[in-house]
Every structure is written in structure tokens, then in C-alpha cells.
Amino acid sequence: MSASPQHDRRTRMFRRARLGVLIAALAPLTAFAALLGFKFNVWSISFALDVLTLKVVPVLAVIGVFGALYAAFAALAERRYAGSLGLAAVVISLLTIGAFGWHYALARDARGGGDVSTNAADSPYYPERVIAARARDHAAPVPALADAGGCEVSFLPTQVAPSVAAYGLDKAGFDIPAAGVGGGSGTLITFWYNRTYDAVVRIRPGRTDVRVTARDPDHDQGKACRLARQILAGMTA
């Protein structure tokens, strides 16, 4: 006995909605695969971040919008059997586009070339312990002076207590192996792509300066600037 036309229509709409969900999910799945491949040393950060995440995934996100619309139309035609799939496709697409919009807004607002300081004319420098750690990590050399590169950060016009400097570093997520009267320094490793940042707070009479330097400035994307702002915010909270 052949299926009824109504059953065939339901099956067709369900399959269309399911296809739309798969298309909408391509972008987040590719981003997750890029991160997973990097974590397990399948490929480099340049391929995972620069190629897959920042070039391929945005294209897939746009395609995902059309996939979500395709699923939504199928869901409208057969709400009972395809409605949840249509809703899922739209939600996935909106979250993906929203995540990338948020990322690009952060990168645009927090600029800098991976080496940010509140004092470009007399930048704080790192202790030998940090310089040695950077050398072992084959990090980019630290110049004598930092170039904010468009990142807007200002020094604190006060001599903060060492505990305040340590608190600011801690609030920004830095490990603090050393802190004293003259300031403190710390290191942070991000969860996403294991990017490593060094930070130093220098305390002087009437002035406190901050410097944040990425060990891989090519993949900074404004993170050093945001971290410097977080340290300053922590010290003034």
C-alpha cells in the first residue's frame, strides 16, 4: 500500500528542515573541529585560526543563514513534524552570526599589535624570569618600548599598593609568581588556542603603568589591549 500524499509531504518537509539544520550547523562544527585539531596537534594555529576559523567559518556562517531560512520555510509548511528542526536551524544560525559579530566588535574596539603599554615613552620591562620563559617558548622578542597601536589605555596617576597590582593581574586571569614594592608580573594562557600573554605592572611615586605582551603577536586580535584594560579596571575597582 503506497503512502498517502500527506505523508509524502510531511516526509519531504522533514528532510528539508533536517538539511537546513545541517547547513546551519556547518560553521560552528567547523570552528569546533579547528579548535580540536589544534588541541591535538593535527594542525597549526595559523591553519586552525587564520584559515579555518577566520576565513572558512564566516563563509559557512553566511551559507548557514540560507540553510536556516530553508529549514524555516519547511517548518512553516509542516509545523507539527518539522517545526522543531526549523527553530533549531534559526537558533544555531543566529548564535553563530552573533558570536562572530561579537568577536569582530571586540577586535575592532581593542586594537594593538600584541604589545600594549600605558607608557609608550618609558614602557615597563619584564624581569629576567619572564624574558627567559619567552625565549624557551620561542616567543617574539620584547622591544624596549611598546607601541599601543591604537589601543587606548591610560596610566593610573597614583602609586598603588603592591597588593592592588597583584589583584589587578589576578582579576585579569594572570598567574602571579612574583610581586613586590615595585610592582608585579604574571603570565596568562588562554583556553582558546593556548595563546600566552605576559603582563607587568610598574609602580612608581605618583604613577602606575601596565604592559601586556603577546608571545605570538600575529594572532593577538586585540587581546593584549583588552587584558591591559582588565588589569587597569581591576586596580581601580
- Three-class HEC string of 120-178: CCCCCCCCHHHHHHHHHCCCCCCCCCCCCCCCCCCCECCCCCHHHHHHHHHHCCCEEEE
What is the secondary structure of 60-110 as a DSSP string? Answer: HHHHHHHHHHHHHHHHHHSHHHHHHHHHHHHHHHHHHHHHHHHHHHHHHHS
Interatomic CA distance for residues 208 and 186, integer angstroms = 16
Q: Is the pLDDT of residue 111 over 70?
A: no
**Mean pLDDT over the full length of the chain:** 91
Residue 171 — very low, low, confident or very high, per pLDDT cuts 50/70/90?
A: very high
Q: Is the pLDDT of residue 183 over 60?
A: yes
C-alpha grid cell, residue 187: 603570565
Average pLDDT of the residues in 110-126: 88
| Residue 157: predicted pLDDT | 98
Are 8 and 77 in contact, with CB atoms under 8 Å apart?
no
| Residue 3: predicted pLDDT | 62
Domain boundaries along the sequence of the chain: 5-109, 115-236
Q: Is the pLDDT of residue 107 over 90?
A: no
Q: What confidence tens digit (pLDDT) does each residue in 120-150 have?
A: 999 999 999 999 999 999 998 999 999 767 7
Helix axes of 5-39 and 57-77: crossing angle, nearest 10 degrees:
160
The third-level CATH classification (topology) of the domain covering 115-236 is TATA-Binding Protein (3.30.310)
Interatomic CA distance for residues 161 and 166, integer angstroms = 9
Average pLDDT of the residues in 40-54: 94
Interatomic CA distance for residues 48 and 33, integer angstroms = 9
Residue 87 — very low, low, confident or very high, per pLDDT cuts 50/70/90?
A: very high
Q: Is the pLDDT of residue 226 over 70?
A: yes
Q: Is the pLDDT of residue 109 over 80?
A: no
| Residue 110: predicted pLDDT | 60
